[in-house]
Amino acid sequence: MASISAETNNEPRPPITQAIGQAIERPGLFTRFSLTARILVVNILPLALLSGGLFYLDTYRTQLIDERFKLARIEAQITAEALAGVTKARQEALLVQIGQEQGMRMRMFDAEGLLWADSFALDEPAFVLEDITNDSREQDLARWLDRMVDTIVSAEPVPDFVEPEGQTADAWPELVQAREEGFSQIRLYRWLDGTPVITAAAPVGLNGATLLTVRNAVDITESVRAARTALITAVLVVLGASALLSLYLARTIVSPLQLLAGSTQRVRLGRERDVEVPRLPERKDEIGQLARSVSDMTLALRQRIDAVDSFAADVAHEIKNPLASLRSAVESLPKVQDADTRRELEQIATHDVRRIDRLVSEISDASRIDAEMSRATRERIDMADLVRAIIGSRENRSENHDHRIELETRGFKADVLGVGARLERVVENLLDNAVSFSPPDAGIEVMVDNDGNCVTLTVCDAGPGIPEDSREKVFQRFHSIRPDDEDFGNHSGLGLAIARAIAEAHDGSLVAEARPGGEQGACLRLQLPAAE
């Protein structure tokens, strides 16, 4: 037997947001699980926390019982006052009337503690304690949930309600206490079906008689169970919908990521040369953007690898020839006794060494362009001043070979944003090419123009010109068609390839064209974005 306390636990609990924040601060806890599992947890966890409200229905039940305690005390006191000083017949009539109206069993005991009157014996019982032997599975489940909640919330144990064998006041502890202390007493019991039974004992008059009321508060249990059923149903429905939506969301995110991961893995392993990374054109979200970026990156990487492979093959081919010539000359020297022949072999060996050195230098320069351009700081450069200075420097070094170089500037000031040393290399290569192909004493026309959007440098020679079907080939590495009177091996075939690479690194272009007006010769046109 125990009484119910209305005190509540006011111990502070951390808010949900604080708990989630602490979890986020420890990412290692979640990164061990798959993305699908994390999405499910994030979406289902709030609902799981909401379902914890099932256990706090115990507080609701306690409040209802507290209210019934107050009601039972008042009812017992008022009834005891009504029974005092009236005849036995009137007392029996009041017991039956109040018992039927309030759904209670009312018993009155005399001063010696003997049963005087029982409303259930005087009239039809106002309630019947349910027999649980034939209860359904739903009722068994409900009682099991009641016990589980009581265990989790550490509810104070409630004694079972058992009718005493002897119908005397001494068999009821609340009646004994009411007679001793002289005021009403309340007790809570539990029937076999889990419903509360509330008893109230109160003194009647001054001659030692007492009143006992018994109420089976079935409505409290029904109310709590109905609230719990509604909450469980709502949580299950929302939980199912949330799980389905989470799985759908995970599938729309995880599936394409797995597809991308598989493709990039095959690209990394190099087992499939033509692996196609899916671009997911139907996806307009971030996943689609990622897929297209990875596809573009893979394509660019493949092109870069192809270029490196091709470059390595070209380098091996170009170095192999002078190495073979050098090896032949060196191996022949010990066998040759004629001084003139030995001198000729030594000249061949020296020429081949210089040719290899020139090739290595050009190859090294070509391989560093992309890396250097990505790290270099660009500055404002006046292309007209740069070209003018280079032409003058070449004149001083006699590198123009008596060719007249005529510079013409047009339009606005020809400022670009670029790397001065690299742009100087482009101009030098274009002028070298024009000087190489121009006949002796022929003029070379150089024009710098700025239309406000692009700065254009055009270098035109008076040489044999470039056939239309070869105007792209001249920019290929090691492609070199030199004049007949030029010594073999003086050019590596990388000059124009390097010049185009530098131009494209500046977001510009370099192309070969025929001279305007049908004149003999070729023009190389460099275009760069004009600086604002």
Residues 300-308 have a mean pLDDT of 73
The predicted-structure confidence for 169-214, as pLDDT tens digits, reads as follows: 999 999 999 988 888 999 999 998 889 999 999 999 888 899 999 9
**Are domains 276-375 and 377-529 of this chain identical in fold?**
no
Structure tokens at 231: 């909450």
Instruction: Round to whole Å and give the CA distance between 23 and 115.
Output: 65
104, pLDDT greater than 90: yes
User: Per mean pLDDT, which range of 2-16, 126-140, 323-337, 487-501 is the poorest?
Assistant: 2-16
Torsional sign, CA 381, 385, 386, 389: negative
Which amino acid, 76?
Answer: A
User: Per mean pLDDT, which range of 7-11, 66-70, 351-355, 373-377 is the poorest?
Assistant: 7-11
How far out from the chain centre does Cα 52 lie? Answer: 29
Torsional sign, CA 423, 429, 430, 431: positive
- The CA dihedral of 216, 220, 224, 230, to the nearest 10 degrees, is 100
The residue behind tokens 């089976």 is 216
Residues 207-232 have a mean pLDDT of 87
Between residues 310 and 145, the one the model is more confident about:
145
Q: Map out the domains of the chain as residue ranges.
A: 55-216, 276-375, 377-529
What does DSSP say about strands 379-382 and 404-411: parallel, antiparallel, or unpaired? unpaired
Q: Which of 461, 402, 393 is nearest to 430 (CA)?
A: 461
DSSP 193-224: TS-EEEEEEEEETTTTEEEEEEEE-HHHHHHH
36, pLDDT greater than 80: no
Give the pLDDT confidence score for residue 185 in this predicted structure: 93
Residues 348-370 have a mean pLDDT of 71
Architecture of 377-529 per CATH?
2-Layer Sandwich (3.30)
CATH class in words for 55-216: alpha beta
Contact 1, 173 (CB under 8 A): yes
What residues contact 154, with CB distance under 8 A and at least 6 apart? none
The pLDDT mean for the chain works out to 79
Structure tokens at 484: 């007949």
Residues 79-101 have a mean pLDDT of 91
The residue behind tokens 């897929």 is 291
Architecture of 276-375 per CATH?
Orthogonal Bundle (1.10)
Give the pLDDT confidence score for residue 174 in this predicted structure: 92
The predicted-structure confidence for 43-81, as pLDDT tens digits, reads as follows: 666 666 665 666 667 778 888 889 999 999 999 999 999
